[in-house]
Amino acid sequence: MPGALKEVRNRIKSVQSTQQITKAMKMVSAAKLRRAQEAIIQMRPYAQKLQEMLSSIVSNSDGDTGGKLAIERTPEKVLFIVIASDRGLCGAYNANITKLARSIAEEKYARQLSKGNVIVWPIGKKAYDYFQRVKMNSNAAFKDIFLNLNFESVQQVATAAVDAFTKKEFDVVELVYSEFKNAATQRFVAERFLPIPKVENKSGKSTKADFIFEPEKEALVAELMPKILNTQLYKAVLDANASEHGARMTAMDKASENANELLKELRISYNRARQAAITTELTEIVSGAAALQG
């Protein structure tokens, strides 16, 4: 019985120590989330308006006026840019992103995947580790962006993707990431990065907007397209960054609640075991006293 009491006491101490860690991690993630949330909230309206403008220009363009980045080609070689995180302990956040990317590759690009023509550029160590584990072609060049997250580092990824698409190294570039809604909700999305998609109305036809271009349309489009794509990718990375901290904060909050429930059960078990030990000792004392009297 003393051994059982000691074992329960050790378990209680272990759970309490774990709970202290989960509470501390929740507080850290909450602080990081506030900064990440402010960044994406400020960035999102600007990025969305730029994307609408870019898609409208492409939809309104004839021939090569839309630029090389809007040309539709038969997808023989496909690039996935998958944005996850560097660290775990954030629930199913990383697993949901990587599984979404893999399912799209297997369903939408099964033929290209079987030929080895699907390449992944993971952003975040967890994404890189996953695609290495499942033996999908992946490039480690951009996996450490979250170590120093800024516009310049993300721009390198966008520029490399644009250059590869222009040189026809890839025919389609898909972007997979988590869109931040709130601390408890993330929406896992896959959207086409290149070629630049056209805006379609409810009837499924491309919409046209009457823009006045200054300077000439071709020069302006060629200058704007790469810059807007840089902004779009940066917005996606900021979305993923905020989503990661939100997911981790929620996961650590749930872990702390579970620790509380486990502590309640362990304390009940400890009290029962202690009461049983006391009862046994009293019984032995009474029996001993009765034997001496007899």
- What's 194's DSSP letter? E
Catalytic residue among 90, 105, 123, 225: 90
Q: Look at residue 6 and tell me if it is in a domain.
A: no
- Whole-angstrom distance, CA of residue 291 vs CA of residue 40: 80
Q: Look at residue 51 and tell me if it is in a domain.
A: yes
Residues 245-284: pLDDT tens digits?
Answer: 999 999 999 999 999 999 999 999 888 888 888 888 888 8
Number of domain units in the chain: 1
Degrees to nearest 5, angle at CA 194 with 193 and 200 = 80
Q: Look at residue 115 and tell me if it is in a domain.
A: yes
Beta bridge partners of 191: 175
Helix-helix angle 217-293:151-166, to 10 degrees = 120
User: What's the pTM value of the predicted model, to 2 decimals?
Assistant: 0.85
- Whole-angstrom distance, CA of residue 71 vs CA of residue 225: 13
38/52: higher pLDDT:
38
DSSP three-state, residue 293 = helix
CATH number at residue 233: 3.40.1380.10
- Over range 101-107, report the average pLDDT: 96
In Å, how far from its chain's centre is CA 234? Answer: 14
Q: Look at residue 222 and tell me if it is in a domain.
A: yes
Q: Look at residue 47 and tell me if it is in a domain.
A: yes
pLDDT for 63: 47
- What's 58's DSSP letter? H
- Whole-angstrom distance, CA of residue 240 vs CA of residue 76: 28
Q: Look at residue 292 and tell me if it is in a domain.
A: no
Residue 90 appears among annotated catalytic residues: yes
Q: Look at residue 129 and tell me if it is in a domain.
A: yes
Q: Look at residue 164 and tell me if it is in a domain.
A: yes
Q: What is the domain extent for residue 50?
A: 24-249
- Whole-angstrom distance, CA of residue 78 vs CA of residue 294: 93
Residues 196-245: pLDDT tens digits?
Answer: 877 665 555 555 556 677 777 777 777 788 889 999 999 999 999 999 99
Give the rounded percent of residues in the chain with a pLDDT score beyond 70. Answer: 91
Q: Which residues are CB-neighbours of 155 under 8 A, at least 6 positions away?
A: 230, 233, 234
